[in-house]
Amino acid sequence: MLNILFPKVCNGCKTALLQAERIICAKCRHNLPLACHHRTGNPSMKQIFYGRFPVKQATALIQFQKKGITQEILHNLKYRGQKEISSFFGAWLGAELSEIEAYKEIDMVIPVPLHKQRLKKRGYNQVSGFGKEIAKALHVPFREDILLKVSKTNSQVFKKRLTRFDKEQVFTVKDPYQIANQHLLLVDDIVTTGATLEQCAQELGSDTNTSISIATIAIA
């Protein structure tokens, strides 16, 4: 009855979803601009971090496009409370990564954290469902209590990468002992300049002898 009165709609085009469809309709899923570096071998994701920190593997599921399906979907996830989108893409990518030998070496999945004030305001970390589903597919722990955001930052979209984090520490590792000698998969919703992931990776890799791989929903 609820589905009749309030039909679930596609997060891409807003048309009503069919019974077998979830989150996005078949047409929007077909039209998603896939990146899938783990399948194509495209090195562009890895090259973002070249000379900044060593990355073992790096992939994004989709290519972000402004004023298109990807922008609408990610805005629904991040700003409109549609947190189930995160799990949808996590299950999708997790199923693919579980079949790739290089990703079977992952020991733990860690999300880029939100500051506690932003987490309280939004009610969820938009990357948590994504990370949980990937961890489930890889049969490894998902840990949200390792990497913490210790200072609140405003939007950094237009700041230069080299000046973003030079004034204060933004992230910290709560218990380095728990990640020592581990291969970590650091996950986020979207990568643009890579500055946030760089800061996280530097904190995770400081004095812990960890290896870092990266996975995001989208790449801009």
CA distance 105 to 101: 7
Predicted TM-score (pTM) of the model is 0.91
Contact criterion met (CB below 8 Å) for 110 and 73:
no
Query: Quick count: other Cβ atoms within 10 Å of Cβ 195?
Result: 20
The pLDDT of residue 210 is: 96
What is the residue type of 212? I
The pLDDT of residue 163 is: 45
What is the residue type of 68? G
The pLDDT of residue 101 is: 97
Strand partners, 108: 184
From first to last of its 220 residues, the chain has per-residue pLDDT tens of 444 445 799 999 999 999 999 999 999 999 999 999 999 999 999 999 999 999 999 999 999 999 999 999 999 999 999 999 999 999 999 999 999 999 999 999 999 999 999 999 999 999 999 999 999 999 999 999 999 999 876 544 434 443 444 446 799 999 999 999 999 999 999 999 999 999 999 999 988 899 999 999 999 9
CA 194, chain centre distance (Å): 12
Tokens describing residue 104? 């079977």
Residue of 1, 23, 30, 9 lying closest to 130 (CA atoms): 23
